[in-house]
Structure 1
């Protein structure tokens, strides 16, 4: 079932996406304008190892592989897949298999370095031909040895060796200093290398790869950058021969960097932000839109992050900061809207129209269009041409660490910006048809939005591991969030974990075991349901210590789905049943009540850390496990331990939480009540077991003017406003038409309503209330329970059952009682088993910043907790 929009930074050539089953459905980029291929346009045959070819649609009779200009051949006889082959290629088990004639097996290395066809005489006397997919046989012939090779620039006593894996290339040379330098091939690994002089350091280079390119049906010589680049010239035109260990690339204090104490993933509280959003409109920053903005300790943005760190936020999650494809890196080349955007009405369509005209060439991009995986993006550097980006990225990490925050990188190894002969294709122009995941007809899989990669292939999996280790060692990154992690094999992500765990302070300068990992474990596309390998999905990653995003609780808090035609469909924190709006899609009062109570069950499971085996009484009065609660036809609970599921109420995808509530709460809802509902919604994640994430600015009621997919909406719709005098972003015009026009009839009256633009007092109050929640979480050990058994023992929902109150959720956690009241009335929750037990409102709230929450009371004789409307209150025993 479609139930989540996952948007990513795709320029016009890489359009926005909408993912399936917790992820998104993506629009594929337009095809490259290359010449049409000669010969078959499909590749229905797959050479899976040196012994076996599988050919979809073939007759199970003799066939052959043809290669070379004189049509040399490799004979194929009908065969079957071995058990090991079926295990390695489960999606091919139903297709005819052929065995390579033993007399011809030695021809494979030669055959793979040119045009290759599968051919067969058909029953009617005709001839069938098709292209051949070769990743499997390349792995079989070269993968075991090549996986141990050091690729990219490697320095020894000041002399660089440049190494690239290109087993199918006829020749590879180095373009450097305007000359062509031959490279030597290792026939056992398919690796080409050349060692240069000391004076090569700092020079730009490219590889000249002469190779058969199936997408254009001819042999080409590609001038291509190094996929293992460590530095680049501006706009990624050339790689640079760079030693990341060079002393001049280390900012002062880098080798002695003191990091904040590591926080276990199960206790992590994470703030997600985009580098440009953070400072582009911060007038107090000396480096707006740059890495160095995180070194501006006195800026409004850094002061706010530091205050969150003091309250309990432990990590900042940076949206992609590796080199991406489609943002001009030089400021002079970056377009800017040519309109007076501030002059238009808050519900005007003029702002979005003006922003859209320059969106393809402006400085803004979320960064989900990877070009070079292991080089910092140049548009965030003061100078994109050279190694300033390396130094300044490191200074950014220093700045965050100095503010008490560890740094997480959002990494996107599941796809590339382009494939084939496209100028933004790197991997596929070096080893055509290997690094991309191919469908059974030979086309590149695009379920991730763009040209999908194949981490199940040895050398793509190696690239993922090598890249992550480089970021950890050379940039001292403290965690990684994997985009569309479910498109990776579980084994690949576990290999990343193993490689990080091997890093030690004495040997590598970092403690890899303290680096956290989490990602999007959505199950969709050509890899869905473990069709090709065991995926790194929510269910499969349980028990690994690597977390996946928990969309169950998120949907229950917000209500409905991002795919809803009517964005007013309500949920727990947006007024379903307790404060209904006029949307017919919400159903009758009886239907709303039933759905709200089911949402409360989803939230109960979420508050446990989304544990599969946690047992409790659901809202129908039955004893159930977390896995027994339904979520769109799948089990709600899937975690084996706290830390397996990451809680959140909003992230960069979809409308911000404030905007979702703007759509869903009745229009009459006042600013103060909207803010209170925002805090309760955030509390469902902040006070859960396991890690939790919030989008930067959600504590400031951040709005993107109802934009559901702001990947290409520029600074105008995306920038964070740390100074409340600048507003929260609401009313900056109708959001861009491309992804929002169907919502404009709902958006226009809201944006025109001045009551929905909160003032400073409301914004400051919300931020302070959120910090109170963080302090409670940080200071109460019960929020960091280490095992499922400990959660089962310490956490309960004493009023859950047939008589529980719709809109009020009461949780007992060790010596705490937490009441979430989203109703417009004061709630009285009587827990008879606690009668006579002393409880008081948690001192952080009793003496905190919210006078309304401070009125929450407890009546000891009856065990009754009384909580104001639209409030989360935490009570402590004793």
Structure 2
């Protein structure tokens, strides 16, 4: 895979399993292929079929349906518009549906459709037969009307109407109160609906859908929950006829909730947080592991969040909190490790083995396995059975808002937990073959890890927009982070933006224009390089006001990548060249120096907000634009304006920053110096133009005991520890074997090394120093340039060039000078142009928590700044 791709939680969650299961999966796929034809023909609209077969003078092609009748085909060519809509099919042979047969399409689609090529003379022997992919023609026939439909439960005058889009179904009925209620089909939209009485409120229901299922090659009757469910029973067995506007679901003060003032996206400082991690180990919380933990104002966790908010953190980004499919929702059904984990050695294999034995049934998972997109996850609720989880989610939002923090939801519309006949497959059991992206042979694409959805299809795109708007209106969510956003069309994400912008406080109770949007703009898989549509990738989203994660400076700061065989590859903040470790992977001293200086250029581009046109002198002495700095063959700078790129040094994926530095810094590095390098690494994101994100606990030197993929590693490896006396999570055993065993030889000696284990002094000082930097970032307007032109005027790197000090970056920003000294030693930086100009250490640092930075100095006559080793110092003009 492309080393620039950083797998998200869901992808990492399945990576080891998919790798191990690949041979078996291939065997199963081969066996399935032997039993049934693939779906190699694609019916893209009512008049056109694309099929990679060559017609001949003696052949005839047609569509056949089990509902009776045939639709004749004749060779044609795709129009320019069709090629633009289906670029991956542009070179395939095309066939026109005979105009006399086009009115048969709707009936044919409610059965099993095959494409047949046969001899046109003699005995009309069938030469080729294949199943047919139908999303395109379904959109052509039904989307104009279906896009306007209100799906799921909708209440009017106290009476609910339930509606579901199922255009290919033979029949749909409602199961409610032990009875089956018929539903009416609208021919124009393909929507089935039924209206009930007020007594239906909060009753459990399912849809009974009779439909052709290609995965089992027969007509089946599915009993399935509502994709537009607003509430669920425990473990998602049934949807509930719930009205989110019901006053019983609104906590006290909900209608008049006062939110912290919104900040422009370019100024957002975001704390990424997993709901269970936040409180499960917090003995001061009355609601450990629950939504309501954010209402425990006196808990250690909430006290820390308030400290971060006062320092400048503006958002808490919650890992998936929608209904997901891998955790038993009732606590009585959850299991816990049965070992005395606290008593085991720091480098033992037993902890991960013990945790692994109960992982499938414990209460922990990151949650990147969507089941129902628009219902809060039940395992975080005090009672998962019913709509109480709605009220508790709202109380969580209230608690965060009252702490001075806005709320971002991590949303995962790019895949589902399952497809086909799996019991946790919802979408695919209602409209088989539609909601998921199919490859040319008709199999479901799984490049994201699981069953990829297809937001390019009208009704999947509608589901994304409708779901986001519901979270914004009904739960007052302040932002959305899109997992693997590059698997969405750009148009889909822009449609989300447009829908949110239409929300107003007077009409909807929220200001949609103030809602934050950002996501992972990685470019990979079957959609890579705009193969199927213009993707929502880094380069394509530039200029939209929707940010994408930037991996450029992150890699330069940390060094190497998460899939390196040797985790000791160093970077700017981990000692490359200036404090080398023993790994041969770092190369010769000359190679290290060259890499370090290039890393410093990447960081400079990051500090500009990853602007494509930001111009500066690089370390080779050339005047370059950000887009001309190389990042693994791609432009380092891709943003058009501050706010297009989101900076970060660590997130839930891969090792925590502390664990990465533990691998990379020389083993002899004292804990105090490890803490200083942590703050320096965080500073490269914190002090950048544009938004920045930090994983919760990173300021507290959070460790997951070197686990690079803790999606299912349980509370033992994941829980946050707010009290320094409880440590930082380091040394809790060797990390789980599935994703870490190759690194165990490197991990074992580190986990038992006292130098790698921080104490209270290191933990508290790092957090305080980070908060000082946050205060500077959020109070100095120079860090908040609104335009690329403003950044170009305000920002420069006066010592960049052939004489630049390896391991030191000096940044001038308006009346500020910032020196990032990643070397172990005190360094001087003489800026001749500033000679005679009065500067002093910024008051926040001069009177702040870090005694080391207070020894930084400035000599006015020569314009020389002197900064201690492993320190970021901010100077301001007097």
**Equivalent-residue separation in structure 2 for 1:16 and 1:781 (angstroms):** 46
- Report the Cα offset of residue 121 of structure 1: 2.0
- Report the Cα offset of residue 3 of structure 1: 3.5
- Report the Cα offset of residue 5 of structure 1: 3.9
Three-state SS of the structure 2 residue aligned to 1:710 is coil
* Corresponding residue number in structure 1 for 2:41: 45
**Equivalent-residue separation in structure 2 for 1:759 and 1:563 (angstroms):** 30
* Corresponding residue number in structure 2 for 1:199: 199
Residues 290 and 154 (structure 1), Cα distance of their counterparts in 2 relative to 1, 3 Å cut: same
Residues 26 and 862 (structure 1), Cα distance of their counterparts in 2 relative to 1, 3 Å cut: farther
Mapping of residues 481-496 of structure 1, within 5 Å: 481-496=481-496
* Corresponding residue number in structure 1 for 2:582: 582
- Report the Cα offset of residue 27 of structure 1: 7.8
Please report the TM-score for the alignment, with normalisation by the length of structure 1.
0.97
Residues 147 and 775 (structure 1), Cα distance of their counterparts in 2 relative to 1, 3 Å cut: same
- Report the Cα offset of residue 57 of structure 1: 3.8
* Corresponding residue number in structure 2 for 1:80: 77
* Corresponding residue number in structure 2 for 1:22: none
* Corresponding residue number in structure 2 for 1:62: 60
* Corresponding residue number in structure 2 for 1:538: 538
**Equivalent-residue separation in structure 2 for 1:75 and 1:409 (angstroms):** 49
Deviations 1:791-844 (A, max 9, x none): 000000000001100000000000000000000110100000000000000000
- Report the Cα offset of residue 561 of structure 1: 1.1
Contact 1:15/1:28 (<8 A) preserved: no
Mapping of residues 857-872 of structure 1, within 5 Å: 857-872=857-872
- Report the Cα offset of residue 761 of structure 1: 1.0
Aligned pairs, number: 871
**Equivalent-residue separation in structure 2 for 1:773 and 1:504 (angstroms):** 35
Mapping of residues 828-839 of structure 1, within 5 Å: 828-839=828-839
Three-state SS of the structure 2 residue aligned to 1:782 is helix
* Corresponding residue number in structure 2 for 1:516: 516
Contact 1:15/1:29 (<8 A) preserved: no
Contact 2:8/2:484 (<8 A) preserved: no
- Report the Cα offset of residue 303 of structure 1: 0.1
Deviations 1:275-302 (A, max 9, x none): 0000000000000000000000000000
Mapping of residues 740-819 of structure 1, within 5 Å: 740-819=740-819
Contact 1:18/1:26 (<8 A) preserved: yes
Please list every run of 5 or more consecutive structure 2 residues that lacks an aligned counterpart in the other structure: none
Mapping of residues 243-642 of structure 1, within 5 Å: 243-642=243-642
* Corresponding residue number in structure 2 for 1:96: 93
Contact 1:41/1:131 (<8 A) preserved: yes
Contact 1:324/1:370 (<8 A) preserved: yes
Task: Tell whether 2:102 aligns with 1:105.
Answer: yes
- Report the Cα offset of residue 58 of structure 1: 4.4
- Report the Cα offset of residue 56 of structure 1: 2.2
Contact 1:67/1:114 (<8 A) preserved: yes
Deviations 1:248-276 (A, max 9, x none): 00000000000000011100000001000
**Equivalent-residue separation in structure 2 for 1:635 and 1:224 (angstroms):** 47
**Equivalent-residue separation in structure 2 for 1:30 and 1:476 (angstroms):** 42
- Report the Cα offset of residue 711 of structure 1: 0.1
**Equivalent-residue separation in structure 2 for 1:547 and 1:592 (angstroms):** 32
Deviations 1:209-228 (A, max 9, x none): 00000011000000000000
Three-state SS of the structure 2 residue aligned to 1:332 is helix
Contact 2:668/2:755 (<8 A) preserved: no
**Equivalent-residue separation in structure 1 for 2:142 and 2:778 (angstroms):** 50
- Report the Cα offset of residue 563 of structure 1: 1.4
Residues 574 and 398 (structure 1), Cα distance of their counterparts in 2 relative to 1, 3 Å cut: same
Please report the TM-score for the alignment, with normalisation by the length of structure 2.
0.97
Three-state SS of the structure 1 residue aligned to 2:761 is helix
Three-state SS of the structure 1 residue aligned to 2:711 is helix
- Report the Cα offset of residue 756 of structure 1: 1.1
- Report the Cα offset of residue 709 of structure 1: 0.1
* Corresponding residue number in structure 2 for 1:2: 3
* Corresponding residue number in structure 2 for 1:676: 676
Deviations 1:328-368 (A, max 9, x none): 00001001101000110000000000000000111001000
Deviations 1:41-70 (A, max 9, x none): 310000000010001244465310011265
Contact 1:37/1:215 (<8 A) preserved: no
Deviations 1:743-800 (A, max 9, x none): 0000000001122111011100000000000000011001110000000000000000
Residues 40 and 29 (structure 1), Cα distance of their counterparts in 2 relative to 1, 3 Å cut: closer
Three-state SS of the structure 2 residue aligned to 1:272 is strand
Residues 29 and 125 (structure 1), Cα distance of their counterparts in 2 relative to 1, 3 Å cut: closer
- More displaced, 95-104 or 39-48? 39-48
Mapping of residues 694-733 of structure 1, within 5 Å: 694-733=694-733
Residues 286 and 27 (structure 1), Cα distance of their counterparts in 2 relative to 1, 3 Å cut: farther
**Equivalent-residue separation in structure 2 for 1:515 and 1:781 (angstroms):** 22
**Equivalent-residue separation in structure 1 for 2:621 and 2:662 (angstroms):** 34
Deviations 1:113-166 (A, max 9, x none): 011100002699652000100000000000011001000000000000000000
* Corresponding residue number in structure 1 for 2:850: 850
Contact 2:10/2:448 (<8 A) preserved: no
Residues 708 and 254 (structure 1), Cα distance of their counterparts in 2 relative to 1, 3 Å cut: same
Contact 1:3/1:563 (<8 A) preserved: no
Deviations 1:668-712 (A, max 9, x none): 000110000000000000000000000000000000000000000
**Equivalent-residue separation in structure 2 for 1:186 and 1:756 (angstroms):** 66
**Equivalent-residue separation in structure 2 for 1:645 and 1:29 (angstroms):** 40
* Corresponding residue number in structure 1 for 2:148: 148
Please list every run of 5 or more consecutive structure 1 residues that lacks an aligned counterpart in the other structure: 20-24
Cα RMSD for the two superposed structures = 1.8
**Equivalent-residue separation in structure 1 for 2:448 and 2:287 (angstroms):** 34
Contact 2:821/2:871 (<8 A) preserved: yes
- Report the Cα offset of residue 875 of structure 1: 0.3
- Report the Cα offset of residue 607 of structure 1: 0.1
